[in-house]
Chains A and B, each alone.
Chain A
Amino acid sequence: MSSHSTSTPLKMGIPIPNSKLGVWLFLGTEIMFFTAFIGAYTVLRFGSKGWPTDPNVTHLRVWAGGLNTFVLLASSYFVVVAHDAMTKKDFGKARKFLTWTFLAAVLFLGIKFYEYYGKITHDVLPSHIAETDEQAMNKVVREMSQTLDAELVSLMADEIPVDEKINYENLRGALTQELATANEERKTALSRFDTLYKLYFSLRDDVKAGSVNLHDVEHRLHDLKFAAIVTTTNGKVFSGAVQEPVKQKLNAAGKVIVKPDDPNFIKLKTKAKTLAIKKSEIKEETYLYKSLLAGIHDPHPILYGNLFASTYFLITGFHAIHVIVGMILFGIVLLQGSKLNAGWTNFIENSGLYWHFVDLVWIFLFPLLYII
């Protein structure tokens, strides 16, 4: 847009290019857009007594958020230097600093997705989180049911009628029938699975009856996950659940109140008692259900966890989308390569304005989500 030096009697409008005014109006609406979400988060948090703040529960790491803040601030700095270079017609410098901006954006998204991955693996997702003990127990039962049904289907694949809805009771009946006639290897696999199913039923019925608490369910799930058959070098075979080694606990004065377990032994809880088996004497250690039950999350109820996850993913998700849009804008400029000329100055200035806004949002997000 060229500026005419002919003076007109009536000067209308604001002395900036239309595109810049347009971007500022857009940023005005974006401010309202993000404050809606941040406002919702603030209001909901004020109204929720017991909002999760423990970093071990929320998996929010201040170092990751702080690093992201530095990365975005640096990218804002790079883009402003790039625009400065454009006004001075130093297009090489502008391209260099725009590349740095783009790379900083990529790094930001990388750290963000690393954080998201941590949350996904711990099932800290909206509508997935159990909030009370009862919900946590029901969740364990539900996850076990889904896992066992899927395994049943894969074990009894031959018995599944085509084009018909799967009837799990029939499949279980077919499994019991096959147990009698199966060969050695198949029989072992089927009988182990049958045992697991029976243990699951007893857990399910206990939870339904309300005769167990969360602690019991946690232990029973752990015992199922770590159910093992241990063969020692002198030919003895033990079957039970491998227990977690007890860690040393110190009181406030530094005195030992809980002695740690001997690291040379493993603890195996059998039906009768808990055995200590020397690790050097173990010939073979087979975990029966570890890989099958690996996907079942250990129960950790988080009060207001679902609201927390909802607001967290809403705010950071929309912010990440805005970062991606900014990357597209810079990508368009970088694609010009050496053809970048003075005509692109306004585009870069406006993209820079948008990018600074994205940085601004993160400047407020970081303390609100990570620190407070």
Chain B
Amino acid sequence: MSHDHPHVNYLLIFIALCVCTTLSVLFDIVNIESKFVLAVLVLAVATAKALFVLTFFMHLKFEGRWKYLLLTPTTVLACGLPLAMLPDIGMHYYVVANPQQTAYALEHPDEAATEGIKTDNHAPAHH
């Protein structure tokens, strides 16, 4: 099957990818205060790199509309499954009573008071 698509300057895309990688490493070296800001910046760069690879290296720019049919369910599931688990495992709406949290609370007593971290391992958490 011959592809009648305009010629892509692969070297230029590769250089753009390298620049993005350098940017990510720079974000790490610069030591940004907020973990959230760092995460947003670094994942934005990662998404940009991913889009470069997907559209140009994998030629998705020149493929038909079937690419949306294929990638939409995967993206939905890819985002949906972690989101489904987040409330139970990622966000603690219940009192956490495990050895790690007990040890953490003993070392950070100021945080333990505000969050629902049990410092007493003996009494089980009842709901």
The residues of A with any CB-CB pair to B shorter than 8 Å are: 1, 3, 14-17, 21, 24-25, 28-29, 31-32, 35-36, 38-40, 42-44, 46-50, 62, 66, 69-70, 73-74, 76-77, 80-81, 84, 87, 131-133, 303-304, 346, 352-353, 356-357, 359-360, 363-364, 366-368, 370-372
Contacts and interface: CB of A to CB of B under 8 A. Distances in A.
A224 B76 CA distance: 57
A293 to B, nearest CB: 27
A44 to B, nearest CB: 6
B27 A371 contact: yes
B10 A80 contact: yes
Contacts of B97: none
B78 A42 contact: no
B10 A81 contact: yes
A304 B64 CA distance: 46
27 contacts: A16-B1, A17-B1, A24-B70, A28-B73, A28-B74, A35-B77, A35-B81, A36-B81, A39-B82, A39-B85, A40-B85, A43-B86, A47-B90, A50-B103, A66-B21, A73-B14, A73-B17, A76-B14, A77-B13, A80-B10, A131-B103, A360-B53, A364-B46, A364-B50, A366-B21, A368-B43, A371-B24
Nearest to A306: B100
A353 to B, nearest CB: 6
Name the prevailing secondary structure of the B interface residues: helix
B53 A363 contact: yes
A196 to B, nearest CB: 31
Interface in B99-125: 99-101, 103-104, 111, 115, 117
A62 B3 CA distance: 39
Contact of A16 (B14, B63, B79, B82): B63
Contacts of B82: 35, 38-40, 42-43
Contact of B28 (A38, A47, A62, A80): A62
Interface residues of B, number: 56
Of listed A40, A69, A352, residue having the most chain B CB within 10 A: A69
A353 B104 contact: no
A43 B42 contact: no
Contacts of A36: 81
Contacts of A32: 74, 77-78
Interface of B: 1-3, 10-11, 13-14, 17-18, 21, 24-25, 27-29, 35, 38-39, 42-43, 45-46, 49-50, 53-54, 57-58, 63-64, 66-67, 70-71, 73-75, 77-79, 81-82, 85-86, 89-92, 99-101, 103-104, 111, 115, 117
B14 A62 contact: no
A371 B28 contact: yes
B24 A367 contact: yes
Nearest to A74: B14
A322 to B, nearest CB: 15
A76 B108 CA distance: 46
Contacts of A43: 82, 85-86, 89-90
Nearest to B21: A69
Contacts of B67: 24
Contacts of A353: 58
A366 B85 contact: no
A363 B90 contact: no
A-B CB proximity, top 4 nearest: A39-B82, A46-B90, A35-B78, A77-B14
Contacts of A49: 101, 104, 111, 115, 117
Contacts of A370: 28
Contacts of B63: 16
Contacts of A69: 21, 24
Contacts of A77: 10-11, 13-14, 17, 57
Contact of B43 (A133, A346, A367): A367
